[in-house]
Structure 1
Amino acid sequence: MIDVRRLTKRYGDRTAVDGLTFTVQPGQVTGFLGPNGAGKSTTMRMIIGLDRPTSGSVTVNGKRYDRHRAPLTEIGSLLEARSVHPGRSAFAHLTALAHTHGIPRRRVDEVIELAGLTSVAHKRAGAFSLGMGQRLGIAAALLGDPQIVMLDEPVNGLDPEGVLWVRTLLSGLAAEGRTVMLSSHLMSETALIADHLVVIGRGRLLADTTVDAFVQEAGGRGVRVATTEPERLRALLSGPGVAITSTTAEHLVVDGMDSRRIGALAAQHGVPLYELTPQTVSLEEAFMELTRDAVEYQSTTAATLRAA
Structure 2
Amino acid sequence: MKTRLFLLACASFLLLPSVSAADPLDKVNDSVSALDFALKRLEGVIASAKKVQLGKQHDDMQRFLNGIYLLKNNRPQDAAALFLSLISHPTLGKEATFYLSEAMFTSANYLVAADYYWMVVEQRWDPAFRSKAIKRLLEISIKTQNYRGIEKLVELVDQMPELKDSPEVNYARGKFAYYQAYEEFQKPAGERREAWANDKFLEALRFFDKIGPTLDKDRKKVFPLLYPQAVYFSGASLVRMAQVGATSFVRSGKTVNLTQYTTSLGEMREMLMFEAVRRFSVLASDTVIQKWIQKVPAQAGEDEVKYFEPR
TM-score by length of 1: 0.31
Higher relative contact order (CA 8 A, sep 6+): 1
TM-score by length of 2: 0.30
Structure of greater Rg: 2
